[in-house]
Structure formats: structure tokens, C-alpha cells
Chains A and B, each alone.
Chain A
Amino acid sequence: MRLTRKQMLAGAAAGALSAGGIYELVDQLSGEAPKRAAPPSQRPDEQHLLDSVSVIVDNEVEVVVPPLHHQLLTANVRADDLRAAQRELSEALDELDRTYEQTPAGLGVTVAYGLPYFERRVPEAWRTHAPYDLRARKPALLPAVRFPSDPHETLLEENDVAILLRSDSRDHLAHAAGVLDLDSLDVTSIRRGFVGGGLPKKVSMAAGIPGADLVPASAQLFLGFTSTQKDALGPRLIANHETLGFVDLGPKHYFRQGTSVHVSHLFEDLEAWYLNFDFRERVATAFRPGQPELREGTLTVPQPLKRADSPRGVRREFETQGRIGHSSAIQASSRLQRDHVATDGTVYKRGTAVPQRADFNTLDNPFDWSSRSDVDQMQPGPRAGLHFVVFNPSSDDFHRNRRAMDGVLPDGTRLPLDARERNQGFNSVLRTTHRQNFLVPPRRHRSFPLAEL
């Protein structure tokens, strides 16, 4: 069923919501799934990579088109016999591999593990094999922390497991969730969402979200600007633990081809964004205060390697303009500040992005479902937000980027900005509710890693 604008405004959407859940609207409003290339002959060793992701050109910028539907499950391990649980999960994942390619048209499955899993379930093996971040002089997997702009109530989670499912097909996600409904896992939360040009406005209008009318018609994200331009995403292997060389993989390189992932949820105040920041200020806030003039309504703003910002550049702009832009502040940490030769010989040019984003729009409030509704402060009704999912070589690498977003730069500079003040990038319209770091093992160890040792 496709919904017309009139039907949406007349409340036909409300019927659809009660009948099939809010995310059914994504299929009804998006039309055909994006065209995807044929899958490669071999699956990557990495769990977090998706092949055959298409690229379009918008405003002369190459933009990656992510999978349409996203679902993230968190769980705790229930099994007493971890090796039996390992076999059970492994068989379930193999079944999904046999059914789907690891592509948007098929299904992306990424199983990640939190510190509580390693410390409670496999403590001795973890002590031996835990990857270590030599640059940070800390373990590569860290407990989540609150950042300067986080409210006090941001919940730092302690789930054992997170499973990220990505696909253009909602049926594939539903099937996968069914296959992964295992005795060994106690699901603690289900988080859902979507990505796609034009969907944030259509879906949020249908759901009656305050400020939905103000979202640009073709926006990929609620806040308007395109986030998945190719230059802003880390190239294929850069987020692996081993690629940039600052993670020590231990004696047997057990977690080689693994990575780290940060999972958080944040609410976005659309009315505050669109009624208080005009286009010029939205650009300055999202990108940089000195961003050259853009045609009003531009959503994809080039962020090429050669113009990646540095701590010095961010400091200078703050001194002259009294504010920082979201992208430029993060680039001071997330983009390579000089050419880098990776351990496999690949040369990554200065300005190359390291993080691989996998975030998605959501109307969860804050989750689609929670086993701890009081703790997670579950509320009825949809609300605009983002499930932020990003792969980095280590937890600390993400922490550096997130601190830079608050004006705490990697060279130690702490710009004098109050928490969530208007000049601190996006922060005044965001409110983070949950955070946790996970480790993503390579595919060969994706089922309860270290349990076999």
C-alpha cells in the first residue's frame, strides 16, 4: 500500500501504525529498493563490511546509499554452557549466510560483544587476547563514558551482545531476528530505524512528529544534511583493529580483522533545529563556521580529503567566529592528519576518514522494545532520533572523535564551550540517552569469541 500525502495528513498513517508498526511505513513511503550491484564471489573476513553498496552523485559529491532498514538487538548471555551456546549461535549465523549475501540487497549481520561478556564469561582468555590500544595506552575495548555535552542521565549500558542487522528488505530483518531468537540470548532491547533520501520527512510526517513539516523533502537524515558521502566514510579496511597499527592484537592475533563499534541513541529536537537555526546557521553548525556560501537548500556539502580540518583550523575558527562546526571539529580527530602507510602497505592520504558510520534514523522512544522499560525510560509514541552506530579501530578512537565534537581537540585544546550551548555544533538540539562500546570480532570468531579456548 502506498500512502498519498492526503492520506498521510488525514490520518491513514495512524491506521498503518497500529496495524503493522511504524517502520512498515518505510516500505510504503520509499517505493522501490535502491539498485545494487551483484555481490562479490567471496565474503569478507570482516563482519562489519557490507559489499555492493551503491553510490550516487548529489551536488557533484559521491554519496553512499546505505541499506534501507536497520535493526539492532542487544542481549545478555543466558547460557550456562557457553560452548554449546557458541555452536548454537554459529549454526544460526551460518544459516543466515547460506540464505543471504552480505549486501544491502541481502543481509548484513554484525555480532558485537560488550566488556561484560568478556569479563564475566571468558575472563582468563580475555586477559590474554584482549586487543590493546598502544596510542591510548588502554584496552581497545573500553566501558562507555559520558562526554562533556552528555546529560547526567545518559545511561551507560552493560549489554553482553549487540547484533546489527541491515538490509533493504524488512522481511530479511524479520527472518534474521527469528533465526537469532536463541535460548542462549536474553534480548534486552530492540532498536529499529531507516535511512533513505526523503524518508525522514515522509515517515515523521506520517507519524505526527513535531517539526516534521520543516524537514527538507529529500533529506537523508532528520537534521537535513547528507552524512554518507564517500569522502566522509572510512575506506574498506581502515577501521580494522590492525590497519592503522595502533592496536596490539596480542600473541595470536585472535581479533585481527575485528573492529570496535560504538552504539548510542540520541533524541533530535527538530523544531529547535529548524525554527532557531536558519539555513546559513545550520550549515555553519553542521559543517564549519567559515563554510563558503551555499545555495539555499543544499543538503550534500562536499567534505573532500584535501579540505579536512585540523585542530589548528578548528581553534582558529573558534577564535574568530566563537563557535565550532560539527564536521570540522570531528575531522580534527577523525581524519588522518598526515599520509599513512597501513600494515598491508595501503597508503591512506592525509584527510582520509577513519570511522565507518552505520547510523540510522529512528522514531524509537528511545527503543522499539526494552526488557527494562523503567531503566531505559521507555515512553509511548514515536519521537525523532538517531541510533548512532560507528566502527572505529578502538573505543578510544571513537572517544577522541566524540570529545572533538564537544570542542576537546586531540592536541589537548579544550575550547571554552558550555555543554550543549548553541555554538557547540549540533549539541544544543541533541540529547543522548544511551551509550555502549562493543568489540566486533572477525567473522571466524563471531560466535561467542574465546569460548572455545
Chain B
Amino acid sequence: MRRLGVLVVLGAFALAGCGGNDAVNAASKVRCPAAAAAGWQKLANRVDAPVFCPSWLPDPLDGVIGSRWNNINEVSRDRSYLLSWVWQETGPGAAGGEKHVNLRGYPGRTRVPKCVNADSNKRELIPCFSDAAGTVRVGGRTATVYNVNQDADQWHVLYAWRYRGSLYTVSEHVAPPFGYRKVRQNLDRMLRGLALVQPTTA
């Protein structure tokens, strides 16, 4: 399996077809769950930018920052963030599997970032998200679908959208118990259920 270095620079790959408007009206009825709200508010304040709190993730993932399933909670110096929830179980058939969802934000930038291709002998930079496979419009929000993704989103399907000059993504791992089709359904539902959280600090 390919291992990739950290994403390092913003690339020249424009995000095609993403909604860059304030299209959160349909989502305005969606609320960040009470158990998760404080954590997402804290994140919005920390990055000083709007963030998207998931009101639904595949069970048992909960979207609560600091919960037992939240394995990554990282904010970089450039204010980009990565939140990850993962459930893993070994066992045959339905008893085993992995559910893994990442949410990212890149405040103040809208281009697809680049990642270091660790399989290249030349520290080659490649787009972190590639193989765009059209767009989806869910809950008033338009996202580009990327099938080939790097770093923590490897083997994930990723939805990316722009909001007020920033890039946001949600991705899910294609692995048992979920095949590609089910992951797309999950992502549609996650996209529909994102609640906007504005920073409250001056």
C-alpha cells in the first residue's frame, strides 16, 4: 500500500464545478448534535473560519470530537484541519470490517492541495484528490466527487466543496462492510447532514 507524506503545497488544480456560494439554506435546518456542538464550535474558533459539523455518520461513528471513535484531531499551522473517526473490528463476514470517515477544511484556500508521492523516487508532488467523477448536489450544496485520494484519504471516496473562499471535504473508506455504491450513499447523506458552525471569537 502506498504511503504518502503530508500535504505540503496548494496546487494549480482548480476544483471544478464546486458550489462557491452561500448554499447552506437547505442545510440550515440541520443542527450539529448537542454532544458534538461544543467541540465543533471550539474548532471553528481555533481555525477562525466556518466548519461543517456532521449530524450523521455511519453507526457507530458519532462525529463527536474527542469521542472514542475520533482518532485524529489535527489543526496545522496554516489552519487546515483533519478530523477522523474510525471503527475497526476483526472477524469473519459481518462481524468484521472498518468504517472510516474524514472531514477536512482548508480555510482561506480553494485549490486542491498536493501530496508527496512516496512511491516516486523523486519526491514527486501529486494532487491529494484526483480522478474527479462528476458532481453531486445534495442539500443545496454542490460537491465534486474524487475517486483517487492520498494520505489519510487513500482508498476513500471524497466529496469536496467550496464555501466562502475555503475548501472542505468529507471522505469515507471503501472497505467491508461498505462497497463503493454504499459509500456514495453514505457520503450523500453526510453531505446533506452537514451543519455550518461559524466562529464566534473576534
Contacts and interface: CB of A to CB of B under 8 A. Distances in A.
Given A271-B174, A278-B130, A213 B180 contact: yes
Interface residues of B, number: 21
Contacts of A323: 119
Contacts of B2: 276, 422
B60 interface: no
Interface string A272-286: 001111111100000
B131 interface: yes
B154 A422 contact: no
Contacts of A280: 130
Contact of B180 (A211, A279, A422): A211
A210 interface: yes
A278 B120 CA distance: 15
B174 A275 contact: yes
A276 B154 contact: yes
Given A275-B148, A277-B148, A213 B181 contact: yes
Interface residues of A, number: 18
Contact of A276 (B122, B148, B179): B148
Contact of A322 (B121, B130, B155, B180): B121
B135 interface: no
A436 interface: no
A243 to B, nearest CB: 41
B155 A276 contact: yes
Nearest to A210: B179
Contacts of A281: 148
Interface of B: 2, 119-122, 126-127, 130-131, 133, 147-148, 154-157, 174, 179-181, 184
Given A275-B157, A276-B2, A422-B2, 4 more contacts: A213-B180, A275-B147, A278-B131, A323-B119
Interface of A: 210-214, 271, 274-281, 322-323, 422-423
28 contacts: A210-B179, A211-B179, A213-B181, A214-B133, A214-B180, A271-B174, A271-B179, A271-B180, A274-B131, A274-B147, A275-B147, A275-B155, A275-B156, A275-B157, A276-B2, A276-B154, A277-B148, A278-B126, A278-B127, A278-B130, A278-B131, A279-B130, A279-B131, A280-B130, A322-B119, A322-B122, A323-B119, A423-B119
